[in-house]
A = this chain, B = another copy of it.
Amino acid sequence: MSVKWVPLLLVIQLSCYFSSGRCGKVLVWPTEYSHWINIKTILDELIQRGHEVTVLTSAASVLINPNMASAIKFEVYPTSFNKEEIEISFMSWINEWTRKSKESPWKHFPEIQKIFWEYSDYLERLCKDVVYNKKLMMKLQESRFDVILADAVGPCGKPTTLSETMGKAEIWLIRTYWDFDFPRPFLPHFDFVGGLHCKPARPLPKEMEEFVQSSGKHGIVVFTLGSMVRNITEEKARMIASALAQIPQKVLWRFDGKKPDTLGSNTRLYKWLPQNDLLGHPKTKAFITHGGTNGIYEAIYHGIPLVGIPLFADQPDNIAHMKTKGAAVSLNIDTMTSTDLLNALKTVINDPFYKENAMRLSAIHHDQPVKPLDRAVFWIEFIMRHKGAKHLRPASHDLTWYQYYSLDVIGFLLACVAIVTFVIIKCCLFSYKKLFKRGKKKKRE
């Protein structure tokens, strides 16, 4: 089973009157956690350019806060879920998945499949709360949006199939780029906008800046395991803290658990870190990360080598990419020792190979004719301006499965061959019989 988080956004065009080429109405169907953090960058830019952005979110959303100070409008729909219930479900899926994905996925197929079924049920319930809410649907229809920006990791549709919903996407915005990804064929309605959320570092809070500056020539190490994982076991925390205590760098660790007793004086714990600002700080030497796409792209943007401790979903795959590109060392959270972490940190900090590769990826990332965020916004605006992007739509969407695999053509050709063979055999048999009869007659004569 290929356990791969789909890192996609799909843009679906709605039929709607669109008066000026500059300003449109955007409906957003987001998902939770890092996906929301990523898509919000696009929404803020759309707002900046004068578009009206409405986010459809449930009353039980974990990270999407309708009361945030923003020009984004929120259309909050009631749901039978409550926030705690959703949060507990996500945490249990992640803990389970993290445990299972370290070992062979084949071995744990039923357990991982169960997680997917539960996630699928959660999505379906949320989706039903929208599409069966007549009042809400009426209101949305009357709003005459120009485009829907939907996160494909949480698909939902007006009663339909997944394949039909996917086929309606005018443009797919992919959360990677060729600095991170390996070259492979793609269709022209795909654009790779990985790193769209990255920006130059802003100044750090005063206390943090002082701590960072106190590192001197050794610099600092930044350590987080993402927006979803806040805790690790006490034992693991002790092991990690003792490794961190042995390096000459200062360490900023995002950690929400009990302070490990092995914590060195060079390490500080924070409940939250300004990750991008830290990765862009000139003193930063390495980044210890779970390998989420957002963090990896901030590291690429700022040219920081990685120590990867992948947990679940696309994270093992992401770290494998960065390892192949020569910008990361990978560790297994279940089997790694204090020495492993220490050696990994020493390697990426002291061996110039890793820094050079990180800087090469950074150079590639920065050398694009149009920035990823501008390309993402360009395509959303293009869909609004032209009421779709039909010229990029592959004909395969309009084929049946037997047409797609050319089975109709192959079938026809095989039928032709069969008919010709049949006719030839019949002719041969007929001629043979004729000759045979004539031969008999002659003999009789």
Contacts and interface: CB of A to CB of B under 8 A. Distances in A.
Interface stretch (A31-39, A78-86, A98-106, A368-376): A368-376
Contacts of A367: 382, 385-386
A183 B178 contact: no
A185 B183 CA distance: 12
Interface stretch (A134-142, A212-220, A387-395): A387-395
Given A183-B189, A184-B187, A185-B186, A378 B369 contact: yes
Interface in A390-413: 391-395
A188 interface: yes
Given A369-B374, A386-B364, A178 B188 contact: yes
A354 to B, nearest CB: 17
B369 A178 contact: no
Contact of A187 (B183, B188, B189, B382): B183
Contacts of A184: 187-188, 394
Contacts of A386: 363-364, 367
B375 A369 contact: yes
A155 B337 CA distance: 56
A179 interface: yes
B188 A395 contact: no
Contacts of A364: 386, 391
Contacts of A391: 178-179, 183, 364
A386 B392 CA distance: 31
Report the copy number of this chain in the oligomer.
Answer: 2
Identify which of A179, A370, A385, A393 gathers the most chain B CB atoms within 10 Å of its CB. A370
A385 B179 CA distance: 16
Nearest to A364: B391
A188 B186 contact: yes
A179 B375 CA distance: 18
Contact of A395 (B183, B185, B192, B393): B183
Contacts of A382: 367
A369 B395 CA distance: 25
Interface string A185-228: 11111001000000000000000000000000000000000000
Contacts of A369: 369-370, 374-375, 378
Contacts of A370: 369-370
A375 B374 CA distance: 16
A410 to B, nearest CB: 20
A382 B365 CA distance: 12
B182 A185 contact: no
A367 B385 CA distance: 10
Contact of A394 (B183, B188, B189): B183
B392 A183 contact: yes
Given A178-B392, A369-B370, A187 B185 contact: yes
- Most B-side CB within 10 Å, residue of A367, A382, A385, A394: A367
Contacts of A188: 178, 183-184, 186, 192
Interface of A: 178-179, 182-189, 192, 363-364, 367, 369-370, 374-375, 378, 382, 385-386, 391-395
Give 5 nearest A-B pairs by CB, closest first: A185-B185, A183-B394, A369-B370, A369-B378, A183-B188
19 contacts: A183-B187, A183-B188, A183-B391, A183-B392, A183-B393, A183-B394, A183-B395, A184-B187, A184-B188, A184-B394, A185-B186, A185-B187, A186-B186, A363-B386, A367-B382, A369-B369, A369-B370, A369-B378, A370-B370
Given A364-B391, A367-B382, 14 more contacts: A182-B395, A183-B187, A183-B189, A183-B391, A183-B392, A183-B393, A183-B394, A183-B395, A184-B188, A185-B185, A185-B186, A186-B186, A186-B188, A369-B369
